[in-house]
Amino acid sequence: MDCREFSSHMKDFIFDKLDDETSTCFVDHAKNCRACYDELEVVYSMHRSLGDIMGPNGKDDTSDYISELNEIFDYYYNLRNNNKKKVYLKISVIVIFCIIIVLSMLCFLFECYL
Ligand SMILES: [Zn+2]
């Protein structure tokens, strides 16, 4: 995601209207681009202080909007890590399954030729 795309998604991110994948890319960009992060911080704080949106998990009792933004970032960071773990688990199951099949075939071949 580039800075232009980031800006175009900002309002949808703040109003939680992006899908998880786009939100994860959005957060990645914000973590690596100080100018975009600063802009997001200002726009998020503005909408929160105006009462346009609730804080994460429906919280509305704080004025520490920067911590809230970091909470939202952590959510997407954890989401991405959990998705990676699921992919690794699926790959592990497939590899183990293939090993079992190959070993079974080898056993079968040895029994046939011995
Ligand atoms: Zn940027």
23 CA distance to ligand 1 middle (Å): 14
pLDDT tens-place string over residues 19-59: 999 999 999 999 999 999 999 999 999 999 888 888 787 77
30 CA distance to ligand 1 middle (Å): 7
How open is the CA angle 19-42-37, to the nearest 5 degrees? 60
> CA-CA distance, 23 to 6, in Å (whole number)?
10
pLDDT tens-place string over residues 63-73: 788 889 998 99
4 CA distance to ligand 1 middle (Å): 7
Predicted TM-score (pTM) of this structure: 0.71
- Ramachandran angles phi, psi of 60, nearest 5°: -145, 20
Between 81 and 62, whose confidence is greater?
A: 81
Helix, strand, or coil (residue 50): coil
Number of H-type helices and E-type strands within the chain: 4, 0
25 CA distance to ligand 1 middle (Å): 12
83 CA distance to ligand 1 middle (Å): 25
Which own/partner contact pairs does 41-46 have at CB distance under 8 Å and 24+ positions apart? 41/65, 41/66, 41/69, 43/10, 43/11, 43/14, 44/14, 44/68, 44/69
The neighbour count for residue 40, using CB atoms within 10 Å, is 22
Joined together, the tokens standing for residue 103 give: 């070993």
73 CA distance to ligand 1 middle (Å): 16
54 CA distance to ligand 1 middle (Å): 25
